[in-house]
Amino acid sequence: MRLPGVLTVTMFWAIDQSSASDATFTHPLNGWYPCDEYTFSGLGSYSGEGKGAECAIYTAPLCYPGICEAAEFADPTIDVFVKQLPATFGDAKTAHNVWLIQGGPGHSSIALESDMVDLHERLKEAVNMYTMDHRGTGRRTLFDCVAAQTTTTGSLWGREKKSSEVPACAKICG
Lowest mean pLDDT among 95-104, 109-118, 154-163: 154-163
pLDDT of residue 59: 86
133 confidence band (pLDDT: 50, 70, 90): confident
105 CB burial (10 A radius; 0-12, 13-18, 19+):
exposed
Residue 82: other Cβ atoms inside 10 A: 19
pLDDT band at 18 (very low <50, low <70, confident <90, very high): very low
pLDDT per residue as tens digits for the range 36-69: 888 765 544 555 555 689 999 888 888 888 888 8
- How far apart CA 109 and CA 82 sit, in angstroms, is 9
Tell me the C-alpha distance between 80 and 108, whole Å.
Answer: 11
Rounded to an integer, the average pLDDT of 73-99 is 89
Give the Cα separation of 168 and 165 in Å (integer).
6
CB 59 within 8 A of CB 79: yes
- Reported as a single tens digit per residue, the pLDDT across 112-123 is 889 999 999 999
pTM of the model: 0.63
Q: How confident is the model at residue 20 (pLDDT cuts 50, 70, 90)?
A: very low
Query: pLDDT value at position 117?
Result: 93
Q: What was the pLDDT predicted at 123?
A: 96
